Amino acid sequence: MLGLPDDITVALFDLDGVLTDTASVHRTAWTDAFDAFLADRAGGPIDARTDELRPFTEQDYLDHVDGRPRTDGVRSFLASRTIDVDDATVTRIADGKNDAFLAALERDGVRAYPGSVRYLHAARDAGLHIAVVTSSRNGAQVLEAAGLTEFVEQRVDGNTIVDEQLNGKPAPDSYLRGAELMGVAPAAAAVFEDAISGVQAGHAGRFGHVVGVDRVGGGQADSMRDAGASIVVTDLAELLPDAGGTPEPNDHPATARRTAP
């Protein structure tokens, strides 16, 4: 009924971009924070012709920031520009991004994807157990603002990652912790992710099914398959029986490697 293998009993959902339309808010906040840093470093307007100091782009977000813990994202992006800074600067950029995100959250609120809400209802009605695994340290606030708290039995978020010293995505640690809290082996859990780093985490953790949610288009679906997604959809409602059939699973060799004992 849910587009998952029969032996899956737990669903581990990423939050931003999978359940809620907050990935775009994160991307805008990151753009503001990085462009402010680059302009300060340049001593004036940033120049697209300068490789190191060209403006932060959507592709930069997807390649270096999306799905990762906040400071990991800062370090990954700066390394891609061969910019070396101290820890205080990393923290300042990360804090600036979070301030911008929280301001947008307060100003605009949060919208849950209708297809995701339908899927959550269907999953709960079918007896599937639900957890959220997100790198965001604002996971509780986003769930509450979107009206989704009632569905979630356990939550692993950015605070958990810091407090328990877990490695962030693309390492599988946060998803493995989610499965542990739900009392199941990874093979009995499905991962739902919109970030390449999250798909990689699901693949690395040898989870029973990895659903890639492509909200971007272009080559994102192919990149998700290459990263180990078992299936790629553009909306979770596509997995429901009234959507006209379940998409074909990914037959990329990575799937066979992931499910091997």
The catalytic residue positions are 14, 16
d(CA 65, CA 75): 9
Q: Rounded to whole angstroms, what are the CA distances from 205 to 108, 171, 175, 191, 228? A: 35, 8, 7, 10, 11
Segment (H or E) for 211: strand 209-213
d(CA 253, CA 227): 10
Residues 6+ apart with CB under 8 A from 203: 210, 227, 228, 229, 254, 258
The total number of residues written for the chain in this structure: 261
Amino acid at 246: T
Q: Rounded to whole angstroms, what are the CA distances from 61 to 56, 78, 115, 122, 137? A: 8, 12, 24, 32, 18
